[in-house]
Amino acid sequence: DGGITQSPKYLFRKEGQNVTLSCEQNLNHDAMYWYRQDPGQGLRLIYYSQIVNDFQKGDIAEGYSVSREKKESFPLTVTSAQKNPTAFYLCASQSRVNQPQHFGDGTRLSIL
């Protein structure tokens, strides 16, 4: 079945550590997105990529980095500069502009 796979489902970060969240899709979608979800705040856009080897900052990009070396993959790194990383992270993909986004099942990141 086509879909989006996020891993791991749960992740713990130590102080000063960078961690990378994986997002893989087999829907052949060009665009991919990373969102952060906090209780009562909805979804906030971190980064997005509309094509391989290109990506743009979203509303809350500080403390995060991404790469898009392959169409299928859009990993997100939460760096030590992100002082409040505890959240639920969602990855999505989209076939073209104005079409629905398809979501993975998320990664929950916590601080040790």
Partner 1 sequence: AQSVTQLGSHVSVSEGALVLLRCNYSSSVPPYLFWYVQYPNQGLQLLLKYTSAATLVKGINGFEAEFKKSETSFHLTKPSAHMSDAAEYFCAVSPNYGGSQGNLIFGKGTKLSVKP
45 binds partner 1 (CB under 8 A): yes
Say if CB 22 and CB 75 are below 8 A apart: yes
Say if CB 37 and CB 89 are below 8 A apart: yes
Candidates 12-20, 37-45, 65-73, 77-85: pick the segment binding partner 1 (CB under 8 A): 37-45
Among positions 48, 55, 64, 74, the unique one binding partner 1 when judged by CB under 8 A: 48
104 binds partner 1 (CB under 8 A): yes
Candidates 14-22, 60-68, 71-79, 94-102: pick the segment binding partner 1 (CB under 8 A): 94-102
Angle (CA) 30 34 35, round 5°: 140
Q: Is 48 exposed, middle or buried (0-12, 13-18, 19+ CB in 10 A)?
A: buried
43 binds partner 1 (CB under 8 A): yes
Binding site for partner 1 (CB under 8 A): 4, 6, 31, 33, 40-43, 45, 48, 50, 58, 88, 90, 92, 94, 96-106, 108
